[in-house]
Amino acid sequence: MPFYNGTLFEIDRKEMLRYAGTNPKGTDFPKEAVDRAVETALALAEPKGIWQILPYSPADGIIEGDPPLTLTGNSIRHHLAKSWSVAVLAVTVGDAIEQESDACFKAGDYVQGLLLDAAATAATEHLADQVDRYIQKEAARDGQRTVWRFSPGYGDWPVTQQGPFCRLIHAEEIGVHVTDHSMLFPRKSVSAIIGISQCTQRPSPAKCKTCWMKDCSFRS
């Protein structure tokens, strides 16, 4: 299965500050602190990704992998209703940034700890976007389009399927594991599925509309 050795030359500061809970103008943190967090995160990040395309049966929600996986939850089944194959992926930036963030919190440097954590989250999403775009190009070669990526825990897709889903991806090959509470480790990791179909255009993302967390501060 393909590995993706991602590159991180920059971190989207706007996204980073959104994850840090800043105000819309981004004036909650000194520019010097933001720059320092970005530089540290870029130096410590170890971007890795893994993905593969597998047959999918929308009628019964089965991904024909090794082992096969039957998806549960109405939202993910509806999301993939027109897909006859899927791309499954996992990405991570490692745990070094999080360790540095924890060290900052323990040292009482809460601003830098928060900014580093937000930078790591933004970097992880950027890496997932890179793999997503690559998969879009692969699908386009066969005249196909993709639907936006969907992760365990979105909508009513149970996060408890995180374990079998990551085994399907073979996420352990890039150092990503699932805890007893169905959380990813390193924490700055993402697993996701992307539907592939013959649709004429890629549907616009509407992730927030499918999520059950109606009071989330990141909701758009």
Q: Which residues pair with 178 in a beta bridge?
A: 184
Which of 104, 91, 112 shows the shortest CA–CA distance to 184? 91
Q: Which two tokens stand for residue 211?
A: 């999520």
- State the pLDDT at residue 206: 52
- Rounded mean pLDDT of 74-86? 95
With 70 as the cut, is the pLDDT of residue 169 above it?
yes
Backbone angles phi, psi at 54, to 5 degrees: -130, 150
With 50 as the cut, is the pLDDT of residue 218 above it?
no
Question: Phi-psi region for residue 108, left (φ > 0), alpha (ψ -120 to 50) or beta?
Answer: left
Helix residue ranges, H only, the chain: 13-19, 31-44, 74-79, 96-106, 110-140, 162-169, 207-210
Q: Which two tokens stand for residue 99?
A: 């360790």
- Rounded mean pLDDT of 127-145? 93
- Rounded mean pLDDT of 49-54? 96
DSSP summary character for residue 144:
-
Say how far apart CA 105 and CA 63 lie, in whole Å.
42
- State the pLDDT at residue 12: 94
With 70 as the cut, is the pLDDT of residue 63 above it?
yes
Question: Phi-psi region for residue 61, left (φ > 0), alpha (ψ -120 to 50) or beta?
Answer: left
Say how far apart CA 4 and CA 90 lie, in whole Å.
10
- State the pLDDT at residue 209: 54
- Count the helix, strand and coil residues of the chain and give each as a percent rounded to the nearest 5: 40, 20, 40
- State the pLDDT at residue 202: 52
- Rounded mean pLDDT of 42-48? 96
Backbone angles phi, psi at 202, to 5 degrees: -85, 125
C-alpha separations of 164 from 58, 158, 179, 220 in Å: 18, 11, 12, 30
Share the mean pLDDT of the chain: 90
With 80 as the cut, is the pLDDT of residue 207 above it?
no
CB 99 within 8 A of CB 24: no
Say how far apart CA 90 and CA 156 lie, in whole Å.
20
With 50 as the cut, is the pLDDT of residue 165 above it?
yes
- State the pLDDT at residue 6: 77
With 80 as the cut, is the pLDDT of residue 23 above it?
no
